[in-house]
Structure 1
Amino acid sequence: MPLNKAVLAAFKAASRLKPDIKQTYEAQRVAEDVMGKLSLPDPRCRIDEAVAVMRDGYEVPLRVFTPLDFDFSLDRGLKVVEDFRGTILFFHGGGWANGSVDLYIDACSTMAVKLERRVVSVDYRRSPEHRFPQAPEDCYETARQLFAGELLADVDVDNIVLFGDSAGGNLAAVVSLMARDRGEYMPRSQMLLYPVTYNDHDPRTSWFDSVRENGEDYLLTARDVQGYMELYCSSPEDLANPYLAPLLAPDVSNQPRTLVITAEYCPLRDEGEAFAARIDLESGEAACYRVLDAVHGYLLYPSVLNVVKDTYRIMKHFLDGDGLEQEDDPAWLELLGTD
């Protein structure tokens, strides 16, 4: 499905004018901070602050989004109660160097309401000030505390879902691998939205066609991904670590039930789909959807747009088994499933 020509022209112009992300990530943080302050969270969601104390004493900030139900009657007046069916532990995107819980306020509020889940958003330490493996260790320890009942007293561990987009999708996949390897807890489900799963995004050498097909003109460029990787790695040897590039893991068995959603015009599309295929082959339960006419990062777009609405339909079906009929709207394509 081709993008609108005017939109495609704007994407191309913006992509080709972008400076090196290694030189501009700090300026991008400033812009994102301004955008975060302009967020208007859904009033049907209560927002609370919390922290997870790491083993080195650092306090990782958390933001908790709880969906609410409003019941009004003449006899009792307005009654507001919490209304959620589980907990999503969310890791934001941004190439491990950008993004924040503030930037994702609107997205997490929408997520909580549409998926009927409480959302715990993790402000893990970012690169290059804190390089690999700090971010996955922060996310792993936060998840451990959530599963142990140390963060929220009323958590149902059978209904905790790991979720992340882009670099956050990478972190969700890595936390699941770490959890299996360390044996302290094990998530039952994970959702990965256009995740980073591989270590090579050079169009000349990458295994994946989407790096070449989508690596220049669709906002996130192959050069951006390479720059973020350089900011993230502590040493070149990190690139071979499965906790940085989970597709390199020699074994992805005993992983959670997994949903991978990719974007048609994203350079990370093929590596995300390859990771889903491996999970399906080695762990036996994965679903993968490609959202057509979509570019990387669309979770932050207004929730009224079809690509966002379709994504929530897919996630709700994965979580709740609600009906999902592809013929109703041809904006997405299932690549593999659990059937």
Structure 2
Amino acid sequence: MNPLFKFILRLVSSPKIDIQEDYQSMRRLQKLFSRQPKPTYRIMDKRIYATADDHEIPVRIFYPKVKKHEEPVIYFHGGGWVIGDIETYTRPCINLADSMGRIIYSVDYRLAPEHPYPAGLDDCLRVAEVLMTKLEEDEPDWILMGDSAGANLAAAVSLMLRDKKKRLPSRQILIYPVTYWDHTEASPFESIRTNGYDYGLTIKKIQEYMELYAPDEAIRKSETISPLMAEDLSNQPDTLVITAEFDPLRDEGEAYARALEEAGNTAKVHRVNNSVHGFITYPKFTEPIEETFSAINSFLNQS
């Protein structure tokens, strides 16, 4: 790993950073450093309404330069359920749309702690239900996708759609997902201990994010926050799990793929070596992004 990059990672891994106190500042910094495209780029905003209180759920639609495939993608952004939005994820979604040759629908779900669990999950489920059920059976299938907390939401939505006997996506892509509730030294996953202190995303930060999202530990153990705790993982979409070598979440993401396979599903893991959590927001010419796009397209385009 580049020594300068490793030094920067150690700086942002400082235990002095307290997510529960600093999350609003982190939101502002994220917006400040998010490079926005020209306003003439191929995007369109729309609103989907929730049923309970009729609040709006913003959805941004990204059209690729060249549309190569009919299956659209529903994307849930990362950010620990606390930071991130469709603005800060506009550039990554443009890159994904162009790379995949597919239309992407990016969901601006509600964030904790203002809207704790299950608010964000409910928004994601509502958007998936509205978009996927509007199609006839003979029309293109949908792909569910997300990174980090967004990948966690995607996995949870797939489980909930199955339980509600709703239409499922044909495939899901989970990029360094959160799949388990315990991110302390007592975790069963070795990557928590080996990668949890010096690589940007620390186990302290993960724990603080989760406590903002779901303050009750018992709730954090439920399958809609910790899909690895699900008693039944059958009837899930074909799944690609992408992990990062130096990510504390690496092992639990790969464990989820194994659990899906053991339950009779098709699941594949692609580990991006010499990489850390959060690389999906990197510029598209960087090695982790190029490798990830190649792995995604190989997974989607196999017949």
Q: CA, structure 1 residues 66+155, in 2 after alignment: closer, same or farther (shift >3 Å)?
A: farther
Larger mean Cα displacement after TM superposition, 179-188 or 95-104: 179-188
Q: Find out whether 1:290 has 2:287 as its counterpart.
A: no
Q: CA, structure 1 residues 112+168, in 2 after alignment: closer, same or farther (shift >3 Å)?
A: same
Q: CA, structure 1 residues 240+107, in 2 after alignment: closer, same or farther (shift >3 Å)?
A: same
Amino acid at match of 2:72: T
Equivalent residue number for residue 250 of structure 1? 231
* TM-fit CA distance, 1:158: 3.9
Rounded to whole Å, the distance in 1 between the matches of 2:125 and 2:246 is 30
Q: Find out whether 1:164 has 2:161 as its counterpart.
A: no
Rounded to whole Å, the distance in 1 between the matches of 2:137 and 2:187 is 42
SS of residue matched to 2:261: helix
Equivalent residue number for residue 133 of structure 2? 148
Please give the residue correspondences for 1:112-151 in structure 2 after superposition, counting only pairs within 5 Å: 112-149=97-134
Amino acid at match of 2:158: S
SS of residue matched to 2:209: helix
Please give the residue correspondences for 1:72-111 in structure 2 after superposition, counting only pairs within 5 Å: 84-111=69-96
SS of residue matched to 2:28: helix
Equivalent residue number for residue 289 of structure 2? 308
* TM-fit CA distance, 1:236: 2.7
Q: Find out whether 1:223 has 2:221 as its counterpart.
A: no
Q: Find out whether 1:176 has 2:176 as its counterpart.
A: no
Equivalent residue number for residue 15 of structure 1? 13
Rounded to whole Å, the distance in 2 between the matches of 1:304 and 1:239 is 37
User: Alpha carbon RMSD of aligned pairs, Å?
Assistant: 1.9
- Structure with greater Cα Rg: 1
SS of residue matched to 2:169: coil
Q: Find out whether 1:24 has 2:22 as its counterpart.
A: yes
Equivalent residue number for residue 67 of structure 1? 64
* TM-fit CA distance, 1:40: 2.1
* TM-fit CA distance, 1:144: 0.4
**Does structure 2 retain, via aligned residues, the 8 Å contact 1:263–1:290?**
yes
* TM-fit CA distance, 1:7: 2.2
Rounded to whole Å, the distance in 2 between the matches of 1:318 and 1:157 is 20
* Per-residue deviation, residues 201-252 of structure 1 (Å, max 9, x unmatched): 002x101100000000000000000000100005232122110110100111
Unaligned runs of 5+ in 2: none
**Does structure 1 retain, via aligned residues, the 8 Å contact 2:70–2:140?**
no
Equivalent pairs, count: 302
Rounded to whole Å, the distance in 1 between the matches of 2:138 and 2:6 is 44
Q: Percent identity?
A: 38
Rounded to whole Å, the distance in 2 between the matches of 1:18 and 1:92 is 26
SS of residue matched to 2:146: strand
SS of residue matched to 2:46: strand
For normalisation by structure 1, the TM-score amounts to 0.85
Q: CA, structure 1 residues 32+14, in 2 after alignment: closer, same or farther (shift >3 Å)?
A: closer
Q: Find out whether 1:213 has 2:198 as its counterpart.
A: no
Rounded to whole Å, the distance in 2 between the matches of 1:104 and 1:272 is 22
* Per-residue deviation, residues 129-159 of structure 1 (Å, max 9, x unmatched): 111111111101100000122xxx7997543
Amino acid at match of 1:143: A
**Does structure 2 retain, via aligned residues, the 8 Å contact 1:68–1:83?**
no
Rounded to whole Å, the distance in 2 between the matches of 1:146 and 1:292 is 35
For normalisation by structure 2, the TM-score amounts to 0.95
Amino acid at match of 2:84: G
Q: Find out whether 1:187 has 2:187 as its counterpart.
A: no
**Does structure 2 retain, via aligned residues, the 8 Å contact 1:166–1:196?**
yes
